Amino acid sequence: MEAIKIYIENVFKAFGDNERVTALKRDMLAGMEEKYNALKAEGKSENEAVGSVIADFGSIDEIVAELGTPPIISELRPAVSKGAYEEDDEGIPVSREDALRLTAAFKKASKWLGIGVWLILTGVSTMMMIVNSGFNTQNIIGETATRFTNTITNPGSASLAEAVALFALFLFIIPAVILFIINGMSLNRYYEKYGNKALFLDSSTRTELEQMRERFMPKFTAVIAAGVAIVLLAVGGFLLFANLGLETFAVSALIFTIGFAAFLFIVAGMEYHAYDYVLGRGDYGYITKKQSQDSERIIGTVAAVFWPLITAVYLLWSFVGDSWSISWLIWPISGILFGAFAGGISVWTEGKK
């Protein structure tokens, strides 16, 4: 009987590990064991029984027809999976292990990146509370910025509250930056390895990942909904506290609460994105990838000039004109303008093809 078990293990080894394979293995092994026992009961020897059972096993072709080509074979010649891929596209065959490792890496990185963002928002919120050392400062953003820069430019004249606030900010920002660097590097490994190429998966891995994605979707919806609820809660709280005259607290609380929502959005969003990337869907559909290379190049070049420029303008205007209270408007405005520009470029390059 051991020989039969080993035989089955070897035959199915190439097909990997998933529910369908495990179920089929279990059923076939059960049937073969019963046949073996029946033969032994008839008086057949161990060798005769095992030989008979294995002889009746059949051909692996029929298993391939049901489970799909085993991954090892498809690594040697890229199997083109169903989807947006064309026969002559450039792509990399990805083994089941690598595909699962990629997905897991994204999920792990997303949690740390989420924590990093939360740390930054919490740090800003804490800093605001401390530096204003009061709950009802008017024009909080302007006040915070003024005191903050005061601490940096005139360290001697800074009050204790301002110094502590600055320290607190760095206390939060430093671990956040470290997390960004570490996790950014670990994800970068995959982007470098696969670049913009299509990922070829064999059909059983593809099915397995699609099933994983299906199971994830309800979780995704729930997490996003929770995040939105938190944002609404934050806004509501802000309006409440601002009305009560507790302006400093209102803004700090808003930023702090949004930190939680940001964490949820990042974690859910990155896992969603991971499945898209590995399955070649949505933004990563291969046809879309090819087209988007051009528009990405244009947008990237413009961004590299545009954003530093806007930052310089913002800082200059605020410091020289001491107009922190209105200069922040530059950010949402340029954000919207740039978004419109990027969208326009994408449509234009798509139209060119």
Partner 1 sequence: MEYSSISSEVIRGYIDLIILRVLYDGDSYGYEISKSITRISVGGYIMKETTLYSAFSRLGKLGYLRSYPGTYSGGRERTYYTLTEEGREYYKQKCDEWVLTKDLINKFIIGGQL
Please report, as ranges, the residues that interact with partner 1 according to CB under 8 A: 24, 26-28, 30-35, 56-63, 65-66
CB of 271 to partner 1, least distance (A): 30
Taking the least distance from each CB to partner 1, the nearer of 8 and 176 is 8
CB of 207 to partner 1, least distance (A): 13
CB 148 within 8 A of CB 127: yes
Taking the least distance from each CB to partner 1, the nearer of 211 and 301 is 211
CB of 30 to partner 1, least distance (A): 6
CB of 186 to partner 1, least distance (A): 39
CB 272 within 8 A of CB 158: no
CB of 82 to partner 1, least distance (A): 17
Alpha carbons 200 and 105: distance in angstroms, whole number: 19
DSSP conformation letters of 233-259: HHHHHHHHHHHTT-HHHHHHHHHHHHH
Alpha carbons 334 and 302: distance in angstroms, whole number: 13
CB atoms within 10 A of CB 55: 8
Which residues have a Cβ under 8 Å from the Cβ of 226 and sit 6 or more positions away?
264
CB of 36 to partner 1, least distance (A): 10
Q: Which neighbouring-strand residues pair with 279?
A: none
Alpha carbons 143 and 228: distance in angstroms, whole number: 29
Taking the least distance from each CB to partner 1, the nearer of 30 and 152 is 30
Taking the least distance from each CB to partner 1, the nearer of 57 and 170 is 57
Cα–Cα distances in angstroms (integers) from residue 104 to residues 101, 181, 247, 252, in the given order: 5, 18, 42, 34
Cα–Cα distances in angstroms (integers) from residue 65 to residues 62, 208, 219, 301, in the given order: 5, 17, 33, 49
Cα–Cα distances in angstroms (integers) from residue 318 to residues 127, 192, 292, 299, 324, in the given order: 20, 39, 37, 28, 5
Taking the least distance from each CB to partner 1, the nearer of 46 and 56 is 56
Phi (first) and psi of residue 16, to 5 degrees: 80, -160
CB of 55 to partner 1, least distance (A): 9
Taking the least distance from each CB to partner 1, the nearer of 1 and 182 is 1
CB of 17 to partner 1, least distance (A): 18
Taking the least distance from each CB to partner 1, the nearer of 65 and 309 is 65
Taking the least distance from each CB to partner 1, the nearer of 27 and 350 is 27
